Amino acid sequence: MAVVTYLTRVGGFWLVDQVDLSDAARAWLGYVPGAVLMSLVAPHVVGGGHAEFGAAAATLLVAWRTGSVLYAMVAGILAVSVLRRLPPPL
């Protein structure tokens, strides 16, 4: 299983090296990781409860104020851990 995972990742890098990408295509590909992350996170925030929404707000606030991804992740994890233990709002 590890070999297959490794080969698919290396194969993707090899394939991109074989194709001459325009500057616009390279810029577009730069947005793909963020779009994939949002497609994974957004359904949990929208469909989740108060804990998920509060954790997302805490994460965004800490990321905006500090500019640190590490601090933002820690804030989000702590917020969701604490908020899940509180009773739901009325």
Based on the domain organization, do 48 and 87 belong to the same domain? yes
The rounded radius of gyration (Å) of the Cα atoms in the chain is: 18
Based on the domain organization, do 17 and 47 belong to the same domain? no
Q: pTM, whole model, 2 decimals?
A: 0.65
Based on the domain organization, do 14 and 52 belong to the same domain? no
User: Which residues span the domain enclosing 79?
Assistant: 40-90
Q: How many domains does the chain have?
A: 2
Helix axes 50-66, 69-85, angle to 10 degrees: 160
Segment 5-62, tens digit of pLDDT? 888 888 888 887 888 888 898 888 888 888 888 898 899 899 988 999 999 999 999 9
Based on the domain organization, do 75 and 46 belong to the same domain? yes
Based on the domain organization, do 58 and 89 belong to the same domain? yes
Based on the domain organization, do 50 and 24 belong to the same domain? no
Based on the domain organization, do 47 and 87 belong to the same domain? yes
pLDDT at 84 over 90: yes
Residue 76's CB: how many other CB atoms inside 10 A?
Answer: 22
Q: What is the arithmetic mean of pLDDT over 66-84?
A: 95
Of 6-10, 61-65, 75-79, which gets the smallest average pLDDT?
6-10
Based on the domain organization, do 8 and 44 belong to the same domain? no
Based on the domain organization, do 48 and 85 belong to the same domain? yes
Position 11 scores a pLDDT of 84
Q: According to DSSP H, which parts of the chain are helical?
A: 2-18, 23-30, 32-47, 50-66, 69-85
Contacting residues for 15 by C-beta, under 8 A, at least 6 apart: none
Contacting residues for 10 by C-beta, under 8 A, at least 6 apart: none
